[in-house]
């Protein structure tokens, strides 16, 4: 079954996406309208690649109707058509707006948003939309599924050239880059990826 699973997968493109994902987490800047008063749920946790760490909005502001937002600075203009969110149980945003900007001043809502879930992880939400060139992304949360204060574990803006990549497959390969190697070319791709992405601990 593993051979069949990998038969039509472009590993080179997936490794390219995973490296792009790592660069995103290493270089983008995140600003949030508020964080939980404990100080343990800061905005930068949204890009640390750890599902167990979580940003939480300020509860007191949420209770009086202040809508929290998350702003991502990509550092440069990029053509993007996906926004990935990793949800926090019991704090799932049910109504939110995605906007983009080139200068951080003038904002425009993305168009034709289509939302789906990644099969490998029910907490991963993929928002697909019309490609847009922008430096800044903003997520404004208007409501949550159960009314509790919003929280997210991850936010990732994905470039349009990776719009057709299956996130579930990409994360599977990220965890097991040598799970199925069918030739020397794929072996070299896996080693090249690890050389650029691996962390020494």
Span 23-58, pLDDT tens digits: 999 999 999 999 988 888 999 999 999 988 999 999
Q: What percent of the chain has pLDDT over 70?
A: 96
- Please enumerate in sequence order all residues whose Cβ is within 8 A of that of 183, keeping only pairs 6 or more positions apart, or say none: none
- pLDDT range class, residue 173, cuts 50, 70, 90: very high
pTM of the model: 0.90
* CA gap 10, 2 in Å, rounded: 15
- Residue 69 · residue 139 · CB < 8 Å: yes
> Is residue 182's pLDDT more than 70?
yes
Residues linked to residue 115 through DSSP beta bridges, in sequence order? 127
């Amino acid at each position: 079954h593993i051979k069949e699973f990998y038969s039509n997968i472009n590993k080179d493109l997936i490794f390219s996406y995973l490296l792009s994902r790592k660069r995103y987490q290493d270089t983008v800047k995140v600003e949030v309208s508020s964080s939980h008063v404990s100080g343990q749920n800061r905005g930068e946790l949204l890009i640390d690649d750890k599902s167990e760490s979580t940003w939480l909005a300020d509860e007191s502001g949420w209770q009086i109707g202040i809508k929290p937002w998350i702003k991502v600075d990509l550092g440069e203009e990029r053509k993007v058509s996906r926004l990935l969110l990793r949800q926090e149980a019991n704090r799932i945003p049910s109504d939110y707006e995605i906007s983009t900007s080139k200068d951080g001043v003038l904002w425009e809502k993305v168009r034709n948003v289509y939302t789906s879930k990644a099969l490998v992880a029910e907490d991963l939400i993929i928002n697909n939309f019309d490609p847009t060139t922008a430096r800044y992304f903003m997520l404004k949360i208007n409501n949550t599924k159960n009314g509790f204060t919003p929280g997210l574990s991850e936010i990732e803006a994905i470039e349009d050239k990776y719009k057709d990549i299956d996130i579930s497959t990409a994360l599977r390969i990220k965890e097991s880059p040598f799970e199925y190697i069918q030739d020397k070319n794929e072996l070299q791709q896996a080693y090249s990826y690890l050389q650029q992405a691996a962390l020494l601990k």
